[in-house]
Amino acid sequence: MDCEEIARQWLAAAFETVAPGCGAGKVVPSKDARFGDWQCNDAMGVAKRAGKNPRELAQAVVGALPLPDILEKAEVAGPGFINLTLSGKAVAAGVEALAADARLGVAQVGAGERVVIDYSSPNVAKPMHIGHIRSTVIGNAIDRILRALGYAVIADNHLGDWGTQFGILIMGYRTFLTDEEREHLTVELLERVYVQSYGRTKDDPAWLEQCRAALVRLQAGDEACLAVWKRFIEISMKEFGRIYDRLGVKFDLWRGESFYQPMLGPTVALLKEKGLATQSEGAWIVDLKEQGLEVAIVQKRDGGFNYTTTDIATVRSRVEEFDPARIIYVTDERQQLHFKQFFHICGALGLCGKARLQHVWFGLMRLPDATFSTRQGNVIKLETLLDEAAARARAIVDESHPDWPEAERAALAEAIGIGAIKYADLSHDPATMIVFTWEKALALDGNSGPYLQYANARLNSLLQKYREAVGKEPAAQPLTVGSPTEKALALHVLQYPNAVARAGELCKPSVLADYLYQLCQLYSSFYQSSPVLKAEPAVRDARIRLCDAVSKVLRGGLALLGIPTPERL
């Protein structure tokens, strides 16, 4: 049992003795070391309900039972706060146990539960642009965090690979490309063709008719149309794959919207059968005005289905096949109404099984003007952003390490660039808008990816120096926790499992990012005040053991955020 659990049980038992049935005893880390290491603020509430003096009640709680070994003291402060001070020995033992555990103490709260995460999910035949980065990066971090918590995660890239745009695309592909271009097709060419073909639908009714006809043929399974459509998907997946490789993102499934096409008719039939769908101006709709959710169209006047219909069918299919405890969707904030609508409809149809449907939405990421030298129209391609990040990082690397081998400098620049972009995103609460600036993202001394990567590399080098100079393994040294800075750092290390659990529970990787940033700050004040290699042997060995634990937690935490950790920097 960990220290926190022991303290919690001791306090709960003490409260129970003093005020039976009150259920109090919550312990939280103290904000300030002067108030002990942990504190409990429950006495005030319990006293108020019982009409007692809170300070006296807190005193009684503290004196009710003998102190457990792990606590050095329990004191009452102010109107009735209970401040707990852990013994250095207990903290040291806790850190040792955490560092020796392959999971770094993260409790397997998700064991036996399946979660589907639908993220990234770009639309085929369009380049991924800067808007897709947040879904990809946040979704992937949630994916990694939930896996660390023991959940069986199914990461599904729900590609937008079906829809009315394909008629326009097929016609454009056949008309506006040279043989040579068709031979070496790229997503960029497809985008150009789409713009051209779409433009022509505006003032050429015959063209519009041909596009419609192509769409109808595709939907009817016409071989030639299907072959072209498959080519669009293949080319897009190849390009997306290149970006995912750079970002270290892997999916278990790539089930696009097209996968669910055969299920759309039956889905609308079910909606009609349950009396949820009604007819309005020739279309079938679900009227959710009473729920304050406007109206969702499930079948258009021309018989076509849309986004809502596909998402309802998708829930049905995922529940039947995987029986998940949760289905998580990661998209931008503009889709909130859509998700509320189909979540409500799925609930009303009883399609969810035991699954909780959860929409994790995020604010947009904006770039201040003139951030980019190369702009294609107004949309910045994701790949351009990644290239620019690597190029800027490369300049920094070249300046500080002109003597390092070319391959290492290139790999390092890529790791720093990707880390900077990911961290700039993950360090914010998903629900906020981000204004991305290179200065902040690449700063070596602020709350940035490179700062954390740098701290990690410095720890690596310290551990290595110790091995070389002392000839012993840091992880094998006994840990003692003496000074206040050591204790503050060690206590923070002990909070790692909580940070991971909370980040997973709330689907906010930012909780973990904040935790890691604080860890680096505490480490840096520890390191400034407490020499390691130059200290006398017993102190040196204890301190290196603490550094080893910090290094493990930092590396583990960065891995859960999907941020690369280069060995040296």
Interface ranges with ligand ARG (CB under 6 A): 118, 121-123, 158, 160, 311, 314, 329, 331
Residue 186 C-beta: closest distance to ligand ARG, Å? 19
Residue 123 C-beta: closest distance to ligand ARG, Å? 5
Report d(CA 221, CA 541) in Å as an integer: 71
Q: Tell the residue number behind the tokens 């290699």, with chain if given.
A: 533
Q: Is 512 helix (H, G, I), strand (E, B) or coil?
A: helix
β-strands 28-29, 71-77 pairing: unpaired
β-strands 81-86, 277-280 pairing: unpaired
Residue 11 or 247: which CB sits closer to ligand ARG? 247
Residue 121 or 236: which CB sits closer to ligand ARG? 121
Residue 331 or 460: which CB sits closer to ligand ARG? 331
CB-side neighbour CA atoms (13 Å) of 53 = 6
Residue 331 C-beta: closest distance to ligand ARG, Å? 5
Residue 168 C-beta: closest distance to ligand ARG, Å? 17
Residue 274 C-beta: closest distance to ligand ARG, Å? 22
Residue 121 C-beta: closest distance to ligand ARG, Å? 4
Of 133, 140, 142, 127, whose CA–CA distance to 365 is shortest?
133
Residue 306 or 485: which CB sits closer to ligand ARG? 306
Report the length, in residues, of the chain.
569
Of 390, 490, 433, whose CA–CA distance to 90 is shortest?
490
| Helix or strand run (H / E) with residue 150 | none
Residue 298 C-beta: closest distance to ligand ARG, Å? 15
Beta bridge partners, 295, equal 287
Residue 143 or 311: which CB sits closer to ligand ARG? 311
Residue 311 or 486: which CB sits closer to ligand ARG? 311
Residue 163 C-beta: closest distance to ligand ARG, Å? 9
Residues 548 and 474 sit within 8 Å (Cβ to Cβ)? yes
Residues 14 and 65 sit within 8 Å (Cβ to Cβ)? yes
Residue 160 C-beta: closest distance to ligand ARG, Å? 4
Residue 314 or 480: which CB sits closer to ligand ARG? 314
Residue 80 or 160: which CB sits closer to ligand ARG? 160
Residue 146 or 328: which CB sits closer to ligand ARG? 328
Report d(CA 83, CA 372) in Å as an integer: 53
Contacts of 117 (CB under 8 A, 6+ apart): 139, 142, 143, 146, 153, 154, 155, 156, 327, 328, 329, 330
Report d(CA 58, CA 43) in Å as an integer: 6
Report d(CA 10, CA 82) in Å as an integer: 13
Q: Tell the residue number behind the tokens 């679900």, with chain if given.
A: 286
